[in-house]
Amino acid sequence: MPHEFCPSIPDLETISIPTARISTSPLRATSRVEAFLRDADYDGPRLVVDLDVVRQRYSAYVHAMPGTRIYYAVKANPAPEVLQILADLGSCFDTASIPEIEAVLALGVAPDRISFGNTIKKEVDISRAHAMGVRLFAFDSDAELEKIVRSAPGAQVFCRVRCDGTGADWPLSRKFGCSTRTAVELLLEAHRKGLDVQGVSFHVGSQQRRAEAWDVALATVADVYRTLCERGLKMPVINMGGGFPAAQYREEVPPIDDYAASIDHALRRHFDWTLPEAIIEPGRGLVADAGVIEAEVVLIARKDQSGPRWVYLDIGRFGGLAETEDEAIRYVIRTPKDGDDLAPAILAGPTCDSIDVLYEKEPYWLPVSLEIGDRVRIEAAGAYTASYSSVGFNGFAPLQSYFV
């Protein structure tokens, strides 16, 4: 069978282990962010994003993984300022909805740089995206595949396989992806129905702290490529998703070069017979470290003499810190009293909802001298904060974003 849609496969040598180590060393609040926070009056919690850091992070990824196409996952931070920087640098974009597609198109980005990677789409939206020129879609079930066949005939497609999310602080496991066995059947079906089969996609879980996670996934995914090739369908691309970590949460993570090296090694080992073109979809890894949230201590209280110290901020679960759900993402929080003696505290948000607690299972150590009215800095807050904040639950304004 002819492989008519198989583009030139990149030479093994073009995906090489980088020799120069790219620094992802902590930048903390950059001087530009500091200057902004100093000069602009405090008017409630605010996220300040240093676009230079986004630029540096993107370049670091390009250098670490040459030959790999980058689709920025828009949901991590969909601000037009962020999208514009990445568009100018040549990034492609992974989107999940028509408004996200429109936001990217509005910057003048061509639709062939956009993927509609959500596996849960209304058929009418598939049809609209297709009409807008988007050609790349993902599915992980036969019902979704049928929608694409009907409403985006001839489109390029990925089938997403399930990953267990081991090693990730924010797993994306059960809800997404099918087994590799199902993927083989669905991809053959997609080909039979006239779709342009690109390959398999997967996501190893967000804030993935194990650089080897991709190796594990690629080992199983390679079997799908081999099986399909044996059945006459050679798939040209592999989509390795997001999961690349923020460097500045509380737990240390390996540098991006370790991820790049591990992925490069895995690709060469598991695809020693044919190397597909590689795609990644980083979200958090590109924008998290670029942002700092400034917030204020509203109340410090001990309800009983021997009880725990509660520290309430003017930002919580609904104001942008949704990823503290189950204490999954653990932010570094700086206070003006850092250096003083520390004692544990339960950290909570300001709303009248008892789930609006940030850290309790593992209390947060904060200076004993911390006072009502002190401003705190929540670091590495550029991803999944502003885009997660409620429109105004309980009358608290959505998180304001500023860009420097």
The interface mask with ligand PLP, positions 181-210, x = CB under 6 A, is ----------------------x--x----
Q: DSSP characters for 129-187?
A: HHHTT--EEEESSHHHHHHHHHHSTT-EEEEEBP---TTEEE---TTS-B-HHHHHHHH
Instruction: Tell me whether residue 29 or residue 74 sits nearer to ligand PLP (CB atom).
Output: 74
Tell me which residues in 31-60 interact with ligand PLP (CB under 6 A): none
Distance of closest approach, residue 45 Cβ to ligand PLP, in angstroms: 22
CB of 383 to ligand PLP, least distance (A): 6
Cβ proximity of 163 and 173 under 8 Å: yes
Q: Does 244 bind ligand PLP (CB under 6 A)?
A: yes
- CA–CA gap between residue 284 and residue 259 (Å, rounded): 15
Which C-beta is closer to ligand PLP: that of 312 or that of 388?
A: 388
Contact 215, 241 (CB under 8 A): no
CB contact at 8 A, 280 and 319: no
Burial track 93-113 (b if 16+ CB lie within 10 A, e otherwise): bbbbbbebbebbbeeebebeb
Local structure of 109: helix, strand or coil: coil
Q: Which is nearer to ligand PLP, 191 or 284 (CB)?
A: 284
Binding ligand PLP (rule: CB under 6 A), the pick from 46, 75, 130, 210 is 75
Q: Judged by CB under 6 A, which stretch of 79-87, 105-113, 258-266, 279-287 contacts ligand PLP?
A: 279-287
119 or 401: whose CB is closer to ligand PLP?
119
Angstrom distance (rounded) from CA 73 to CA 93: 6
Beta carbon nearer to ligand PLP, 94 or 379: 94
Which helix (DSSP H) or strand (DSSP E) does residue 403 occupy?
Answer: strand 400-403
Check binding of 380 to ligand PLP (CB under 6 A).
no
Q: How far apart are CA 295 and CA 42, in angstroms?
A: 9
Backbone torsions φ then ψ of 141, nearest 5 degrees: -150, 160
Q: Which of 177, 285, 350, 382 binds ligand PLP (CB under 6 A)?
A: 285
- Give the residue closest to ligand PLP by C-beta: 242
Q: How many residues form the binding site for ligand PLP (CB under 6 A)? A: 16
Pick 75 or 309: Cβ nearer ligand PLP? 75
Name which of 36 and 244 has its Cβ closer to ligand PLP: 244
- Whichever of 235 and 246 has its CB closer to ligand PLP, that residue is 246
Scanning 71-79, 80-88, 214-222, 356-364 for contacts with ligand PLP by CB under 6 A, the matching segment is 71-79
Least spacing, CB of residue 245 vs ligand PLP, in Å:
8
Cβ(311)–Cβ(333) below 8 Å: no
Residue 280 CB, nearest approach to ligand PLP (Å): 8
**Which one of the spans 69-77, 124-132, 187-195, 309-317 is the region binding ligand PLP (CB under 6 A)?**
69-77
One DSSP character per residue, 316-335 reads -TTTT-GGGGGG-S---EE-
Shortest distance (Å) from residue 204 CB to ligand PLP: 9
Among 94, 169, 356, 374, binds ligand PLP (CB under 6 A): 94
- SS3 of 298, please? strand
Interaction residues for ligand PLP, span 116-155 (CB under 6 A): 117
Phi, psi of 361 (to 5 degrees): -55, -45
- List CB contacts of 42: < 8 A, sequence separation 6 or more: 294, 296, 375
Interface residue with ligand PLP among 45, 236, 276, 282 (CB under 6 A) is 282
State the nearest-atom distance from the C-beta of 270 to ligand PLP, in Å: 21
Q: Closer to ligand PLP at the Cβ: 51 or 76?
A: 76
Q: Which pair of tokens denotes residue 104? A: 């990217």
283 belongs to the binding site for ligand PLP (CB under 6 A): yes
Strands 309-313 and 291-302, by their bridges, are antiparallel
Stretch that binds ligand PLP, among 29-37, 103-111, 276-284, 332-340 (CB under 6 A): 276-284
CA–CA gap between residue 86 and residue 75 (Å, rounded): 14
Residues near ligand PLP (CB under 6 A) are 73, 75-76, 94, 117, 203, 206, 241-244, 281-285
